[in-house]
Amino acid sequence: MKTTLFTLTMLLASFAGMSQKNEYYQAMGETLSQYATCRTVEDFQALGNRFSMIAGNEKEEWLPLYYHAHCFIIMSFMEPSDAVKKDAYLDEAEKSVNKLVSIAPEESDVFALQAMLYTGRLVVNPMERGQQYSILSGQAIGRALGIDPSNPRARLIKLQNDMGTARFYGKDTGEYCSEAKELLAGWDNFSPKSRLHPAWGKDQAAEIVSGCK
Amino acid sequence: MKIFFTSFLLIFSSVLSAQTIISGTVRAKNGGTLPGANVYLKGTYDGASTDADGRFSFRTQKTGQFTISVEFLGYESHSEPLTLNGKDIKLALELMETFSKLDAVTITAGTFEASDKKQANTISSLDMITTAGAAGDVFGALQTLPGTTTNGESGRLFVKGGDSDESQTYIDGALVHTPYNSTAPNTATRGRFNPFMFKGTIFSTGGYSAEYGQALSSVLLLNTNDMPVQDQFDLSLLTIGPEIAGTKLWKTGAVTATLGYSNLQPYMNLVPQNFEWKKAPESAAAAISIRQKTGKTGMLKIYSSFDNGRFTLGQFDLDQDTMVDYGLRNGNFFVNTSYRTTIGENLIFSTSASFTNDRDKVNFDGNHFDKSLKGFHLKQTASREITEKITLRGGVEWFSRSLEQTFHTPADTFVNSYDINTMAAFTEAELYASKNFVTRVGARLEHNDYLNRSSLAPRLTAAWKLDETSQFSIAYGWFFQNPSDDYLIYTDKLNYERADHYTFSYQSSRNERTLRAEIYYKDYRNLTKQGQGEFYLPETYNNSGSGFASGLDIFWRDKKSIRNGDYWISYSYLDTKRDYKDYPEEAIPGFASKHNLAVVYKHWFDKIRSYAGVNYKYSSPRVYNNPNSPEFNGEKTIAYHTLDVSWSFLFKPNIIFYGAVTNLPGFKQEFGRRYSETPDDSGIYRSTAIVPGSGRFYILACFITFTKKGTENQLDKIQ
């Protein structure tokens, strides 16, 4: 009886200690599952808000910040015309990206996301920002691929940037098809470190491939 | 045991089931509902975002004391304590808008700001480069803005009824003593600086801050680029000569070196000229630019250039009735440095210094005229944000200018010189009463050791934001400037010249369309007058001159209505008269035209990756003086028209082709007449028309950038 009680107390104590972490995993898992149902800027804002809240509780975790920034970058891409809003969303994303660069500089996905942020800045005003941000985005991708050459998201963003440039220069984007097909075929060979780690991008790779004849 | 365990589980599950529903609304203080706000219990994972009507609702199983937090972009976060005891809670939460200077009211009276940072700019750095007709000249591009008057025979800035020497140019806070290239009389000049050097430009046409003195009409503030982003080598091939530039980065700094050579001879062999060039303009220039980051926030910038130019022009001497040669050699050495650092949270120190050594050697019909100018400027400023709504700024400055003119005739040599030191101090406070109202109050004290005079100049500006898109600003101030070199070289018995500015400005910006209207009045006093005596005698000069300028400036820019198109229209109305120099009475000055119009259009053709620009400019006739007529400044020039086109073609990411033609239709341009010094035997002053160098000007260029390609190579450049 005594031993049982002792065991139970110990169990409860460790459960309480664990509970915060468990809550984190649970909240992250739940929130990540909502990505699939996001359709509008408002949906992504609500999702970004959740990640921001989680990031506030888990200061040493980089993943909530990563997804927070990701949501706001997507919002900027989704915003149809208001350049001021696009920049405001990116400002919000940039805060998290800057924190990410300092707390998780060993993560390839952090720099892939930074490249996406710079591409977002470029898209707001390609004429005035093209030169500067295409270089910055290229440098961030270079860093992401330098850390992990197999990171499919870094490769995807590089491919999207390259195709965007080719399209801008009126070139045929067909030459990127083989690369896109190879990326898509090998996508599942890359296994994220955990179920919470970034895994997105396969749909977009498939979309590029479907555009190929 | 079993009972114990069961009861424990029961207690535990009862805790679990103690569920509270928290719901309510989030609104902006004095505003509508806020959709998308983040509402959550601090330290938990329980929360929700507000819906389209600003409503939220979520469940929590927590009990006890908690804090509820609300966050929303552009608003101050709000938290309040909450006791959770199983009873549902309804909340009506309110958020205050964040005070941010970026979206707060800005002082726009008299100011055109260009930078790539803000979207709301009236004109951007790219505009400075792509404006047709400017052909890469900063000052040329500014002459498409309202408030300016184009003087085709000068090329300099004439702002709101002010003469060209009433405008000053600053680079990174330090004065540029010689912003323009040296030219022959009545031929247009260009700026010395490449517009690609600058990330931002502020062109203030009146009512500027107490930080800037020694300018009666306008200041142009050019801010150079920060760190370059990559190593590169640039090759520019222009019809007038090549330029090469190399940039190398290291961990905390970068250096760019530029070499250029230009010679108009080959061009002039192809295109007929109105002038008789004996030696076409030729110049060689070298520049170096260094960037060094120090500590966390410090940035040191050094720019140094040396250029050497020469030409010989045959001009008809109306008195001698023969062609005489006007030859000029110019050597210009310029250094500009600035250092800026932030101490603590919100104290910014900036130090700027510039040094110019400029030498003109003119040969004119066997006479030699040498002019040597040494200019120095040192400025130290400190700026402190007391609260986010109050900023104090102050600084001290030292300007030194020494000029020596030597005139050798075959018989004699005359030397005149002067040294002038101006010490100045200024202080200024910027106060935001709210996001919608700001005032800037300042004063500037100057002492000039050559004239032994002091001046105290108050400055005041205020701006009201009327609604989200429009605002109203006013600017008032006294502005002092030393009399020009032409007088100071002969006398130190003069006083400062003075202009008082009154500016009222309205600006409305919505959806990438901007309308600005400005009315102003300038009261000039103490302008220098040249009396009847000999020009070299001090008593010939006094400060009894005066004048006024008033006008209306309209600016309309629309980047929205035409897909891939962007245009602006500037119109200026100017009414001005002054009594200065050797004027016998108050008269309209020769540089002023009543109506100025500029229409600038740019179009991006994505299919052919080309940026095309076309602009049209008009200036109504200006006056000039005919000594044969009893009426002073009684003659009128023809109106000025020009239509310029430019084409930039992005061939590859690193290769750009550029072509431009100014005055494409070949409008006849004439800027008045030049008269002989003395009348001929029949008592008539002979004259000849002042015309531009050529009917049209063509330029072709190719810009090539070489970089290390490939992402791997980029890695080592990131700090």
- Of all residues in chain B, the percent with pLDDT exceeding 90 is 63
Q: Do A139 and B229 touch (CB under 8 A)?
A: yes
Q: Does B125 touch chain A (CB under 8 A)?
A: yes
pLDDT > 80? residue B414: yes
Half-sphere exposure (Cβ direction) of A85: Cα atoms closer than 13 Å? 12
Closest Cβ–Cβ partner in A84, A128, A170 for B609: A170
Q: Do A4 and B1 touch (CB under 8 A)?
A: yes
Q: Does A173 touch chain B (CB under 8 A)?
A: no
How confident is the model over B663-667, as a mean pLDDT?
94
How confident is the model over B249-271, as a mean pLDDT?
93
Q: How far apart are CA B149 and CA B595, in angstroms?
A: 9
DSSP string across B653-700: TTEEEEEEEESTT-------EEE-SS--TTS---EEE---S-S-EEEE
How confident is the model over A171-198, as a mean pLDDT?
89
Q: Which of residues 30-69 of A touch B (CB under 8 A)?
A: 42, 45-46, 49-50, 52-54, 56-57
Closest Cβ–Cβ partner in B42, B604, B715 for A143: B715
| pLDDT at residue B694, rounded to an integer | 87
DSSP string across chain A: -HHHHHHHHHHHHHHHHHHHHHHHHHHHHHHHHGGGG--SHHHHHHHHHHHHHHHHH-TT-SHHHHHHHHHHHHHHHH--S-HHHHHHHHHHHHHHHHHHHHH-TT-HHHHHHHHHHHHHHHHH-HHHHHHHHHHHHHHHHHHHHHH-TT-HHHHHHHHHHHHHHHHHTT--GGGGHHHHHHHHHTGGGS--SSTTS----HHHHHHHHHT--
How confident is the model over B235-264, as a mean pLDDT?
94
Q: Do B45 and A54 touch (CB under 8 A)?
A: yes
Q: B308 vs B130, which has greater pLDDT? A: B308
pLDDT > 50? residue B619: yes
Q: Poorest-confidence range of B4-13, B93-102, B152-161, B452-461? A: B4-13
CB B47 within 8 A of CB A50: yes
Q: Do A53 and B45 touch (CB under 8 A)?
A: yes
Q: Do A169 and B650 touch (CB under 8 A)?
A: yes
Q: Do A57 and B611 touch (CB under 8 A)?
A: no
User: Residues spanned by CATH 2.40.170.20 within chain B?
Assistant: 111-712
pLDDT > 60? residue B522: yes
Nearest partner of B135 among B673, B662, B692, B712, judged by Cα:
B662
Q: Do A138 and B38 touch (CB under 8 A)?
A: no
Contacts of B565 in chain A (CB under 8 A): none
Q: How far apart are CA B215 and CA B177, in angstroms?
A: 12
| pLDDT at residue B710, rounded to an integer | 40
Closest Cβ–Cβ partner in A8, A56, A128 for B126: A128
Name residues whose C-beta falls within 8 Å of residue B486's C-beta, 6 or more positions apart in sequence: none
Structure-token pair, residue A2: 């005594």
| pLDDT at residue B100, rounded to an integer | 67
Q: Do B715 and A83 touch (CB under 8 A)?
A: no
CATH for B111-712 is 2.40.170.20
Q: Does A145 touch chain B (CB under 8 A)?
A: yes
* Minimum Cα–Cα distance from B124: chain A residue: A128
CA triple B84-B88-B94, angle to 5 deg = 85
| pLDDT at residue A180, rounded to an integer | 93
Q: Listing from the earlier edge strand, what are the strands of the sheet with B89-95? A: B55-60, B20-28, B89-95
Q: Does A9 touch chain B (CB under 8 A)?
A: no
| pLDDT at residue B715, rounded to an integer | 33
Q: Do A142 and B120 touch (CB under 8 A)?
A: no
Which of B11, B73, B201 best tests the A interface by mutation, with the highest count of A CBs <10 A? Answer: B73
Which of A15, A24, A53 best tests the B interface by mutation, with the highest count of B CBs <10 A? Answer: A53
Residues found in chain A: 213
CB A148 within 8 A of CB A154: yes
Q: Do A125 and B119 touch (CB under 8 A)?
A: yes
| pLDDT at residue A51, rounded to an integer | 93
Contacts of B652 in chain A (CB under 8 A): 169
Contacts of A142 in chain B (CB under 8 A): 711-712, 714-715
| pLDDT at residue A2, rounded to an integer | 57
Structure confidence at residue B550 as a pLDDT band (50, 70, 90): very high
pLDDT > 90? residue B52: no
How confident is the model over B631-647, as a mean pLDDT?
95
Q: Poorest-confidence range of A156-170, B145-159, B533-547? A: A156-170
Q: Does A14 touch chain B (CB under 8 A)?
A: no
Mean pLDDT computed over every residue of chain B: 89
Closest Cβ–Cβ partner in A127, A134, A146 for B715: A146
Contacts of B201 in chain A (CB under 8 A): none
Q: Do B715 and A128 touch (CB under 8 A)?
A: no
Q: Do A128 and B71 touch (CB under 8 A)?
A: no
- For residue range B345-387, what is the model confidence (pLDDT) as tens digits? 889 999 999 999 999 999 988 899 999 999 999 999 999 989 8
Amino acid at A190: F
How confident is the model over B305-319, as a mean pLDDT?
93
| pLDDT at residue B14, rounded to an integer | 43
Nearest partner of A66 among A32, A36, A42, A34, judged by Cα:
A32
Global ipTM: 0.77
* Minimum Cα–Cα distance from B34: chain A residue: A42
Contacts of A164 in chain B (CB under 8 A): none
Q: Do A146 and B712 touch (CB under 8 A)?
A: yes
| pLDDT at residue B581, rounded to an integer | 94
| pLDDT at residue B712, rounded to an integer | 34
| pLDDT at residue B163, rounded to an integer | 95
* Minimum Cα–Cα distance from A54: chain B residue: B45
Contacts of A143 in chain B (CB under 8 A): 714-715, 718
Which of B119, B227, B654 best tests the A interface by mutation, with the highest count of A CBs <10 A? Answer: B119
Q: Do B711 and A141 touch (CB under 8 A)?
A: yes
Q: Poorest-confidence range of A4-8, A113-117, B52-56? A: A4-8
> How big is the A-B interface in CB pairs under 8 Å?
95
- Of all residues in chain B, the percent with pLDDT exceeding 70 is 93
Q: Does A24 touch chain B (CB under 8 A)?
A: yes
CATH for B2-95 is 2.60.40.10
> Nearest CA of chain A to the CA of B296: how many Å?
15
Q: Do A127 and B43 touch (CB under 8 A)?
A: no
Q: B516 vs B710, which has greater pLDDT? A: B516
User: Residues spanned by CATH 2.60.40.10 within chain B?
Assistant: 2-95
Main-chain dihedrals φ then ψ at residue A195, nearest 5 degrees: -75, -15
Residues found in chain B: 719
Q: Does A16 touch chain B (CB under 8 A)?
A: no
Which of B100, B229, B232 best tests the A interface by mutation, with the highest count of A CBs <10 A? Answer: B229
Contacts of A129 in chain B (CB under 8 A): 116
* Minimum Cα–Cα distance from B71: chain A residue: A49
Contacts of A52 in chain B (CB under 8 A): 38, 71
Most confident among A52-56, B72-76, B215-219, B709-713 (mean pLDDT): B215-219
Contacts of B40 in chain A (CB under 8 A): 49, 53
Closest Cβ–Cβ partner in B116, B119, B714 for A83: B119
Q: Do A1 and B124 touch (CB under 8 A)?
A: no
* Minimum Cα–Cα distance from A130: chain B residue: B653
Q: How far apart are CA A110 and CA A108, in angstroms?
A: 5
Contacts of B36 in chain A (CB under 8 A): 42, 45-46, 49
Q: Does B344 touch chain A (CB under 8 A)?
A: no
How confident is the model over B568-583, as a mean pLDDT?
96
Contacts of A76 in chain B (CB under 8 A): none
Contacts of B48 in chain A (CB under 8 A): 46
Amino acid at B508: S
